[in-house]
Structure 1
Amino acid sequence: MPGTIDARLAELEITLPEARAPAANYVPFVRTGNLLYVSGQIPANEDGSLILGKLGDGMSIEDAQGAARRCGLFLIAQAKAACDGDLDKVSRVVKLNGFVNCTGDFADHPKVVNGASDLMVEVFGEQGRHARAAVGSSSLPLSVAVEVEAVFELA
């Protein structure tokens, strides 16, 4: 029988991607006490292709919001893996840190990272409301448009 969060994902017609292995010398998540730190997730389409781009240089805010949402899906997938498949163990989304690949004059970072933030509230409800940072960067790994990391509180 699916848990409350799995049922909510089904209701929203959201299928989580597979939690990805790290690309370098780090782990995908660390649990310490009741906190779960999930390493930065980069956006990939359902076919596995990375979502590349730079805001202020041809990429739209809407496309970047979609990329941030994909990062959020990977964050939730990592949380599910960390919780042995039971997302009901997530009692709170504590914080998201979003990094936006952009030109120096781009200033709408918060709008981009809303793609991930809105997803957390859709999926976890009131417990999905979180503290956040939205930061511009002159480049990101593999030229992706966005990277987002998270801290979750576990029951």
Structure 2
Amino acid sequence: MNTIESKLAELGVTLPDMGHAPKAAGNYLPYVVVGDMVYVSGQISQDDNGPVKGVLGDDFSVEDGAKAAKLCAISLLTQAKLACDGDLERLVRVVKLTGFVNSTPNFTDQPKVINGASDFLVMALGDAGRHARAAVSAASLPLGVAVEIEAIFQIK
């Protein structure tokens, strides 16, 4: 097991088998590799039971939102692993996250929600997990999910 996979195991996270990685739900690719950069399409909050739905500022707490964002980060790493032909040791760093939070018009804690993904990536990858970021509100998200996050990774 490689170093990143070992760290994930310490955190109690096992990435899905490559055949079970989230698939594109439309006419787009789950990721695109250009040179040493991997652009990962938005990954929605989902677990083994399906989409994690909720509206921040209404029926979903900031803590629940942060957990949903962590689920997105796990899917992002899964896509990055696919882009690296199954070898996460090729991952150099997380460059940028863009997080979308399904929230009410008055909700202003989007950054606290997306911290769930950011904090997880730093725990899993150390300094290579530090990244630029945007955290924005959305009036709704696909399937009613609470969070969707896209990412850019650098690989070798």
TM-score w.r.t. length of structure 2: 0.95
Inter-partner Cα distance in structure 2 for 1:92 and 1:73 = 15
Partner of 1:77: 78
Deviation string 1:83-126 (CA, Å, 9 cap, x unpaired) is 11100101010000000000110000000000110111011101
Q: What is the deviation of 1:46? A: 2.2
Moved over 6 A (4+): none
Q: Which amino acid aligns with 1:8?
A: K
Q: Match of 2:151?
A: 150
Matched, 1:16 2:7: no
Moved more, 15-24 or 69-78: 15-24
**1:113-124 equivalence runs, <5 A:** 113-124=114-125
Structure 2: unaligned runs, 5 residues or longer: none
Superposed CA deviations along residues 18-62 of structure 1, whole A, max 9, x for unmatched, are 311100110000000100000000011223x11001011121111
Mapping 1:55-134, distance limit 5 Å: 55-134=56-135
TM-score normalised by the chain length of structure 1: 0.96
Q: Taking every aligned residue pair, what percent have the same amino acid on both sides?
A: 54
Paired with 2:111 and 2:15, the residues of 1 have a C-alpha distance of 24
Unaligned runs of 5+ in 1: none
The CA distance in 2 between the partners of 1:89 and 1:145, in whole Å, is 31
Structure 1 residue 13 displacement after superposition: 1.8
Q: Distance in 2 between matches of 1:50 and 1:7?
A: 27
Aligned length: 153
